[in-house]
Structure 1
Amino acid sequence: MTSVVTSEISLYELVAGSTSAPLAMQISPVTFKSLMSSLIDLVVDQDQPASVWAKLPKGDAWQTEFDRYLDHIPPQQQVFCFKNQRDESIEESASLESFSRATTPIVLPLDSILRREYFFIVWSNQFCGLLVGHRARAVQQSDTPIDEDPPEKKQALMAYLVIDPEIVRNAIAVLQPLASRPEPLPEFDHLNPALTNQLLAKHIQRQEDLWQRATTHRRQAETANLLQLQNEELLSTIRLKDEFLHTVGQELRTPLTNMKTALTLLNSPSLKPPQKQRYMELLVRECDRQSSLITSLLDLVSLDQMAEHTTIQALSVADVVPGVVSTYQPLAEEKGVRLAYTIPEGLPAIACLPTWLKQIVINLLHNGIKFTPRGGQVWVRAKQQGEYIQLEFRDTGIGIAQSEVPKIFDRFYRVRQSFDEETSGAGLGLTIVQKLLLHCGGSITVKSRVGEGSVFNVLLPIYRGHQES
């Protein structure tokens, strides 16, 4: 038989108003359930007759824990289970079917103060305990049971855990009239200290288990996040490689198409000598472009592989720059461009490989000469700047528009202000320079004005010993 009662009694306030009331705790529903489970463990292990009064949140986790207690007690033991009237009728509730064999269900009306409280009370001849909790006043207006809230929104409970026999007896005394068949409580002999210690030990162990599981879940979540980031990086790398291969295909096809066109036209019987000479020059130029593109691609692909297995060395810029300038001197003279360099004595060594510095200087000098018209100048100056050696590559060439400066280090990008179609290259030189500087801890900046020239400032770190890429 199910009884429906009206009550204005608050167990929480009853405990709070007691002269020997313990300190109130603000705890999560998870901690409340953990404390309840510790009480259940103690009662099950004690294997003594006990009266239990319970009002728990809805949910399978709470019901499963309560069923664990019911499975270990004899049918005649007193168990009173309180439910809110709005939750569901006792007769129709599948979750309460298990109560019929060992419990007395009690339905609380909608206006009962107890409907906003949860409790678990145990009374035996050697131990008693009361766990009661209710929501803080700030969330009293919510009708959602704590177990129905999402985990991140579960509200904290204000709770008491009491083992004082007088307080526990008073709490049961106010609940007994609500039961249709209240029975006398088992005679309380004395409070067994060993059981109190056991309750504390069980709760500490349970909290430790919860902490260990939470730690494991957190590590699993961190691992999952890391794997997701790695997966996104791999997908991004694959996309970049696909885009790179697509661009490479287009860049390789262009000179081949031009060469095929020139070869077709050279077979024309009506071709005049000047036209034939122009097509032959086109073939040579496109072959050079194709060769330059393939060489640059191989250099670019091999950079990352080389950097992984390379140890940075101490290097003097005076051992590299003069040799490269001398190599490009004939080309500069042929174009009518003045080429020079200035390297002060006593500059500290830089942290870079000789082949890397040589390639950096070659690409920047080549660009300077290529985009500087006859009568112009290109020069290289070195100086110390703090913890770096600065190499300044300055030219009086055609310059670069400000809108194009951020793009010049992109793969296959070519400036539009070209005064001679022979100046068109692979578009990878500056990309290679930037990657080489990245590997050795350096940097490059650009200043340029159209019609006035450009200045490329390269910063290379001073060697400090035992530096690796």
Structure 2
Amino acid sequence: MKSPRSSEASLYELALSSERPLHPLQVSPTTFKSMLTAILDLLIEEHLPATLWLKFPKGDTWESEITRYCTAATAPYTLYTLGNSQGDLAEAATPASSGHLSHLDQVSDLTAAELAGLVDSPAADSPVLTHQPQPTSLNVAAQSQRVVLPLGTESQFKREYLLLVMTEEFCGLILAHRPRSVRPSKPDSSPPERPLWLEELSPNSDEDIERRHPLLAIYTFESDTICRVLEGIHQAIAPAEAPEAVRADLESLVKHWEEWVLTAANITPNTRIVGQLLAKQLQIQEEMWHSTAIYRRQAEIATGLQMENEELQNAIRLKDEFLKTVGQELRTPLATMKTALSLLNSPSLKPPQRQRYMDMLTHECDRQSSLITSVLELVQLENMDDTAVTQPLRLSDVVPGIVSTYQPLAQEKGILLAYTVPQDLPAVSCTVPWLRQILINLLHNGIKFTPKGGRVWVLAKLQGDYVQIEVRDTGIGIAAADIPKIFDRFYRVRQAGSGEDSGGAGLGLSIVQQLLLKCGGSISVKSKPGEGSTFNVLLPVYR
């Protein structure tokens, strides 16, 4: 592979041009951060003096990781931050908090090898990285430095993030690159909603792109690759961009930069430490997986609870509406009865008028009784277990008895009532009370809305895995606008011509529908005003 010129290439390109081919991994910002955390934790736990070069994405989450290391460090360190923002450059001239020096007055007279702790330092107070007894936090802070290395304005590192660590035990590099292809075509458009974990990594809306998309990452201990990256950093440093107070020290550091490269080339990784690093990375990944699994389960539980809560609220709302409607329906006949009773007390009331009011009282009492009965039936249905046991029933054993019960009423109105139920029909899955209630409600409506001289009849036939029962009449029919509503609770069809409702509780068809749902059946209707109606009931064949 042809090696690109370090002054023109990005760090990622330089790393890929190494003698041994590297295979970048596509990782999320969360995984990239876990890789950085593993190395920093290892430095802390193993009390390793280190020199670090880093360039992290902007944001409090990433800055807090640096602060955590500086606070918890158990051995001296020198931390070089690559940056070219005004804030970074201002930091280069200002002492950092907690005793971490940002200036370079202790660095300018030292070679890079001395700073790396791999040769003896001529000065006792220099930041050497050789092993020594574990210092106190105050001693670590006093012997450590945090330095900002300003980059040229045309830096190729804008879309790259890295952590390069140099210790006696190993020299390692984590380098991430954000490809140009992840940039949106319309930067001004509103970004999509991001997951919480990504929001935490990207609190600043200005850096959405940096953390919303996967990165291409390189993780290596190869000296050739690390040396190429160090050369790239060397070419990018721009001492002229630094504040005047530290410019001379930066120039001296750059002058001795070749020592860093030679040092990196001569470090042989300690297999024990590398093994520890691998184990720590696996541990962090396992913790991340475990946390993700917990969050996923919690999200599933929360979603389930939310759905249950919505169902409960909907049930409460329906109950409230039901009670309100029942109250209104009970009050209507009572008001009519009260009016009739008041008129019956009139001394000048003639016998025909008295009889009319008495009939009105009887009608309203029947209506209220029907309403109360229907409401109780409906409540009983709703409280019934959905897994109620059905039984095999033959229509030829049930239909004739119900039809004969309604023959007197039909004859009184001059209506022909008949049925056709083949004897060889298979048994249906239902219960006797349910089937009787279904047929009674449908026959009652058919006779009620069919004028004198009309017909009502029941037909049964096999329809696939169901037995179809048709209850037909030649009555007044149902308007097209009413058909979608006739199975609603308390809905009563307006009689054609009069505009008055049909009386009754308005619950009969709703009860029929609920009963059929309980046994796995269904009901539909076809009707035209003036031509009559056909109610089609499907009952499953008993298996």
TM-score between the two structures when normalised by the length of structure 2: 0.78
Q: Find out whether 1:425 has 2:468 as its counterpart.
A: no
Inter-partner Cα distance in structure 1 for 2:164 and 2:179: 21
Q: Find out whether 1:77 has 2:77 as its counterpart.
A: yes
Alignment check: 8 A CA contact 1:443 1:460 kept = yes
Cα deviation per residue 1:180-224 (whole Å; 9 max; x = unaligned)? 264755684522233333322222221121121112112222222
Shift of 1:272: 0.4
Inter-partner Cα distance in structure 1 for 2:425 and 2:288: 63
Inter-partner Cα distance in structure 2 for 1:124 and 1:261: 101
Q: 1:212 to 1:74 in 2, by over 3 A?
A: closer
Residue 43 of structure 1 corresponds to 43
Shift of 1:77: 2.7
Secondary structure of the residue that 1:416 maps to in structure 2? Answer: coil
Residue 160 of structure 2 corresponds to 117
Q: Find out whether 1:169 has 2:227 as its counterpart.
A: yes
Q: 1:46 to 1:91 in 2, by over 3 A?
A: closer
Alignment check: 8 A CA contact 1:377 1:395 kept = yes
Inter-partner Cα distance in structure 2 for 1:385 and 1:126: 82
Shift of 1:332: 0.8
Q: 1:92 to 1:41 in 2, by over 3 A?
A: closer
Inter-partner Cα distance in structure 1 for 2:225 and 2:29: 23
Residue 383 of structure 1 corresponds to 461
Alignment check: 8 A CA contact 2:337 2:360 kept = yes
Inter-partner Cα distance in structure 2 for 1:41 and 1:21: 29
Q: Find out whether 1:401 has 2:479 as its counterpart.
A: yes
Alignment check: 8 A CA contact 1:285 1:422 kept = no
Letter in 2 for 1:438: L
Residue 351 of structure 1 corresponds to 429
Alignment check: 8 A CA contact 1:405 1:446 kept = yes
Q: How does 1:37-436 map to 2 (within 5 A)?
A: 37-73=37-73, 76-87=76-87, 89-91=89-91, 97=97, 99-100=100-101, 101=141, 102-139=145-182, 147=202, 148=204, 149=207, 154-175=212-233, 178=237, 180=250, 182=253, 184-185=259-260, 188-308=266-386, 310-417=388-495, 423-436=502-515
Secondary structure of the residue that 1:397 maps to in structure 2? Answer: coil
Residue 461 of structure 1 corresponds to 540
Q: 1:422 to 1:45 in 2, by over 3 A?
A: closer
Q: 1:150 to 1:231 in 2, by over 3 A?
A: farther
Alignment check: 8 A CA contact 1:121 1:129 kept = yes
Inter-partner Cα distance in structure 2 for 1:94 and 1:407: 78
Moved more, 315-324 or 430-439: 315-324
Aligned-residue CA RMSD (Å): 2.9
Letter in 1 for 2:233: L
Percent sequence identity over aligned pairs: 51
Secondary structure of the residue that 2:384 maps to in structure 1? Answer: helix
Secondary structure of the residue that 1:103 maps to in structure 2? Answer: strand
Question: Gapped runs of 5+ residues in structure 1?
Answer: 1-6, 465-469
Shift of 1:364: 0.2
Inter-partner Cα distance in structure 2 for 1:9 and 1:176: 12
Letter in 2 for 1:26: Q
Residue 4 of structure 1 corresponds to none
Moved more, 245-254 or 301-310: 301-310
TM-score between the two structures when normalised by the length of structure 1: 0.90
Q: Find out whether 1:438 has 2:517 as its counterpart.
A: yes
Moved more, 409-418 or 40-49: 40-49
Q: 1:88 to 1:70 in 2, by over 3 A?
A: closer
Inter-partner Cα distance in structure 2 for 1:256 and 1:66: 80
Inter-partner Cα distance in structure 2 for 1:57 and 1:31: 14
Alignment check: 8 A CA contact 1:55 1:83 kept = yes
Alignment check: 8 A CA contact 1:54 1:119 kept = yes
Inter-partner Cα distance in structure 2 for 1:26 and 1:54: 20
Secondary structure of the residue that 2:64 maps to in structure 1? Answer: helix
Cα deviation per residue 1:283-334 (whole Å; 9 max; x = unaligned)? 0000000000000000011002223462122222222211111111111111
Residue 31 of structure 1 corresponds to 31
Shift of 1:93: 11
Shift of 1:255: 0.6
Letter in 2 for 1:453: G
Inter-partner Cα distance in structure 2 for 1:347 and 1:407: 32
Inter-partner Cα distance in structure 1 for 2:332 and 2:151: 84
Shift of 1:386: 0.6
Inter-partner Cα distance in structure 1 for 2:47 and 2:75: 14
Shift of 1:89: 4.9
Inter-partner Cα distance in structure 2 for 1:82 and 1:152: 17
Secondary structure of the residue that 2:365 maps to in structure 1? Answer: helix
Moved more, 131-140 or 413-422: 413-422
Shift of 1:266: 0.4
Secondary structure of the residue that 1:90 maps to in structure 2? Answer: helix
Q: Find out whether 1:447 has 2:526 as its counterpart.
A: yes
Shift of 1:118: 1.0
Q: 1:106 to 1:244 in 2, by over 3 A?
A: same
Alignment check: 8 A CA contact 2:83 2:89 kept = no
Inter-partner Cα distance in structure 1 for 2:326 and 2:521: 27
Shift of 1:385: 0.8
Q: 1:94 to 1:217 in 2, by over 3 A?
A: farther
Moved more, 170-179 or 32-41: 170-179
Q: 1:418 to 1:152 in 2, by over 3 A?
A: farther
Letter in 2 for 1:46: E
Cα deviation per residue 1:406-437 (whole Å; 9 max; x = unaligned)? 11111111111258979521110000000100
Q: 1:164 to 1:423 in 2, by over 3 A?
A: closer
Alignment check: 8 A CA contact 1:80 1:106 kept = yes
Inter-partner Cα distance in structure 2 for 1:454 and 1:408: 12
Inter-partner Cα distance in structure 2 for 1:314 and 1:25: 65
Letter in 1 for 2:180: R
Q: 1:230 to 1:86 in 2, by over 3 A?
A: farther
Q: 1:318 to 1:307 in 2, by over 3 A?
A: farther
Inter-partner Cα distance in structure 2 for 1:394 and 1:174: 90
Secondary structure of the residue that 1:78 maps to in structure 2? Answer: strand
Q: 1:378 to 1:139 in 2, by over 3 A?
A: closer
Shift of 1:463: 0.9
Alignment check: 8 A CA contact 1:85 1:110 kept = no
Q: How many matched pairs?
A: 458
Residue 3 of structure 1 corresponds to none
Secondary structure of the residue that 1:320 maps to in structure 2? Answer: helix
